[in-house]
Amino acid sequence: MIESLNERPMAILKPTMYQYNEIDQKLVDERVAQFRRQTERFLKGELSEDQFRPLRLRNGLYIQIHAPMLRIAGPYGLLNTKQFRMLAHIARKYDRGYCHFTTRQNIQFNWPKLEEVPDILADLATVQMHAIQTSGNCMRNTTSDHLAGVCVDEIEDPRPYCEIIRQWTTLHPEFDYLPRKFKIAVSGSLNDRAATQLHDIGVHIVKNDAGELGFRILVGGGLGRTPVIGQVIKPFLEKKYLLSYLEAILRIYNLYGRRDNKYKARIKILVKETGMAEFSRQVEEEWQHTKDTMILTDERINEIKAHFTPPSYDKDAKSDTSFATNLNTNSAFATWYKHNTADHKIAGYRAVFLSLKAPDVAPGDMTDSQLDVVADLADCYSFGQIRVTHRQNLVFADVKQADLFELWQQLDQLKLATPNIGTVTDMICCPGLDFCSLANAGSIGVAKEINEALDDMDYIHDIGELKINMSGCMNGCAHQSVGHIGILGVDKKGTEWYQLTLGGSSDNEAAIGERLGPAVAKNEVTKAITTILDVYVKQRLEEESFLDMVKRVGIDPFKEQVYANH
């Protein structure tokens, strides 16, 4: 049995992720107590459904088709194994033995009982977790790069800034009743893995001409019904101004964002209707009043940075030779290594992806026993930490090359080693009509059907990088508009139809996908996808990715084939 994190002498080690102090813990405990009172008042009839709704939403609680759905925050996707075991405990005790990882690095439970939610939150609080502001018209969980701190293209580790923003956004008294939800993402790398251009605010760590590190701030991006790519509002912001500048944007949005129509209430619409130049002027003017009164000091930054010290890496990790031998002698391992691991800044280490996209499970779902074993594995192989990616997979960020073979074997037994990261079967998928009361169409079933049709791993690997994102309604939880192939479920007179888009991207060169043509019936989606893939395979140039080919030829060649028999 693998030794658990609890039993390790952690006190002598420097923290490698943020640890609550007394204030953090007290705040979360008091929030649990507050929500317990609110739930009691609702159950006694002292709060109406309309009054209770914004309160429960701010604690992650939706009312869904079958039962409430509880969304728990995974702060910038970083969890420790103690927290992971708590998720397993909650899945067992309060749910039906599984949970779902979301595109915002959060965790959802689909079957909790309303009256038990305060108990769930109390259990979470014991491991420094909560569900604060995971839904509702407020500032949501700050998301980031799942390879933060270990990737080779990093300018600076974004996690300390994520934590600073997390604290600033949590229970912010002025901005808890915004016109609409508000999402912030932070990236510290050259390659954007946090889809920052598609957030209400995107924060990029950049270096200016003088060699100083600061932030490039983007505003007005977002998905949903009207997908928009964010624009740069501040090319270079000194670090000390991070919070004052965010506050200025939020104040302008809170005051002037539309509240008459929820579909026009996101900041992207305000920016569009006001015009970027005028919006930017308003923010600048507001900021001038406050910029020197709320300085983010170096002392404060360093205090938070101290929580993110690198783990104690083995200096001799690279000297291992077993890894090379296994790579040369075991082709299945080599395939997995190629697709499911990423470069690490420390020689002899890799970041390992755990695929939550095995052919026969709903994308992003994990059972309680998988959660427990993954926690054991993370303790054993990756310094007791697990990251959630925005494509609904997990990452062990710090695995020694000598351990890769053994880890792969164990993940394979758990069905978490499907070598499909970044490929066509690594689909992002929302819960869809099976669980969500907003959805117009099912998504899990369609994902499964596509997955079954694409059962040839060699073919999948030949296709290479291809991101399919599928949402069951226009709210776009699965970011379909930025999928290389996007699938959007729509309701046509009570039947489920699916609109396809091609050419979207959430990476550096973010783009909104172009609609292929009329929606296709549910039983034709898989055929349409395989047809699109066939067109690509036949017409691509050497080494040309799917996205590059769509850019080169446009959608017509795909359109002709998909609608050939219509």
Partner 1 sequence: MQIIKDNQLSNDAWEYKPDDADLGNGDVIISLSRLQQKGKALFNRTGKLGARIVPSDPVDGIVAYLPDLALVELYFPELADGRLFSHAWLLRNRYNYTGEIRATGHFLPDQVFYLSRVGVNSFYPENTAHLTSTLAGLKDFSVSYQPSAN
Which of 84, 101, 175, 182 is close enough to bind partner 1 by CB under 8 A? 175
The reply to whether 255 sits near partner 1 by the rule CB under 8 A is yes
- Which position among 10, 27, 65, 152 is part of the footprint of partner 1 (CB under 8 A)? 27
The residue count for binding partner 1 (CB under 8 A) is 30
Q: Is 173 in the site for partner 1 (CB under 8 A)?
A: yes
Sole residue written with tokens 């009839």: 45
Of 286 and 398, which CB lies nearer to partner 1 in the complex structure? 286
Q: Does 415 bind partner 1 (CB under 8 A)?
A: no
Q: Binding partner 1 by CB under 8 A: which of 64, 80, 108, 167?
A: 167
Query: Residue 34, interface with partner 1 (CB under 8 A)?
Result: yes
Q: Which stretch binds partner 1 (CB under 8 A): 46-54, 145-153, 348-356, 418-426?
A: 46-54
Q: Kindly give, in sequence order, each residue whose CB lies less than 8 Å from that of residue 33, ignoring residues fewer than 6 positions away.
A: none
Give 77-91 as a DSSP string: GEEEHHHHHHHHHHH
Q: Which residues contact 565 (CB under 8 A, 6 or more apart)?
A: none
Residue 470: which residues within 8 A CB-CB, separation 6 or more?
427, 428, 429, 430, 443, 446, 447, 478, 480, 483, 486, 487, 488, 489
Residue 101 and residue 107 in contact, taking contact as beta carbons nearer than 8 Å: yes
Shorter beta-carbon distance to partner 1: residue 56 or 193: 56
Query: Distance (Å, rounded) from C-alpha 30 to C-alpha 375?
Result: 28
**CA dist 511 → 106, 356, 377, 502, 550 (Å):** 24, 26, 37, 10, 12
Token pair of 151, please?
Answer: 């990737």
Sole binder of partner 1 in the list 66, 225, 289, 552 (CB under 8 A): 289
Residue 83, exposed/middle/buried by CB under 10 A (0-12, 13-18, 19+)?
Answer: buried
Per rule CB under 8 A, is residue 177 in the interface with partner 1?
Answer: yes
Q: How far is the CB of 123 from partner 1 (least distance, A)?
A: 20
274 in contact with partner 1 (CB under 8 A): no
522 part of the interface to partner 1, by CB under 8 A: no
Output b/e per residue, 194-228; b: 16+ Cβ within 10 A.
Answer: bbbbbbbbbbbbbeeeeeeebbbbbbbbbbbebbb
Segment interacting with partner 1, rule: CB under 8 A, options 95-103, 176-184, 387-395, 558-566? 176-184
Containing 465, the helix (H) or strand (E) segment is none
Residue 207 near partner 1 by CB under 8 A: no
Stretch that binds partner 1, among 87-95, 107-115, 169-177, 513-521 (CB under 8 A): 169-177
Minimum distance from residue 531 beta carbon to partner 1 (Å): 46
Spell out the alpha helix ranges (H) of 221-307.
242-256, 267-274, 276-290, 298-305
Sole binder of partner 1 in the list 142, 170, 382, 423 (CB under 8 A): 170
CA dihedral 189, 191, 194, 200 (to 10 degrees): 90
172: contact with partner 1 by CB under 8 A:
yes
Q: Min. distance of Cβ 388 from partner 1 in angstroms?
A: 23
SS3 502: strand
| Alpha helix (H) residue ranges in 386-521 | 401-413, 444-453, 457-463
Chosen residue from 171, 213, 276, 301 binding partner 1 by CB under 8 A: 171
- What pairing do the DSSP bridges indicate for beta strands 201-207 and 213-219? antiparallel
| 530 near partner 1, judged by CB under 8 A | no
Which residues, 6 or more positions from 451, have their beta carbon under 8 angstroms from its beta carbon? 357, 359, 360, 425, 427
Taking CB under 8 A as the criterion, which residues in 127-156 touch partner 1?
137
Q: Which is nearer to partner 1, 28 or 78 (CB)?
A: 28
H helix runs in 275-330, sequence order: 276-290, 298-305, 322-329
Of the pair 102, 167, the CB lying nearest partner 1 is at 167
245 binds partner 1 (CB under 8 A): no
Q: Does 213 bind partner 1 (CB under 8 A)?
A: no
Binding residue for partner 1, selected from 101, 168, 383, 405, defined by CB under 8 A: 168
What DSSP character marks residue 374? H
Q: Return the closest-CA partner of residue 153 out of 371, 440, 345, 21.
A: 345
The residue (of 51 and 437) whose beta carbon lies closer to partner 1 is 51
Identity of the residue, 25 or 126, whose beta carbon is nearer to partner 1 in the bound complex? 25
Q: Judged by CB under 8 A, does residue 30 bind partner 1?
A: yes
Q: Is residue 26 within the footprint of partner 1 (CB under 8 A)?
A: yes
Interface residue list for partner 1 (CB under 8 A):
23, 26-27, 30-31, 34, 38, 47, 51, 54-55, 137, 167-168, 170-179, 251, 254-255, 259, 289, 294
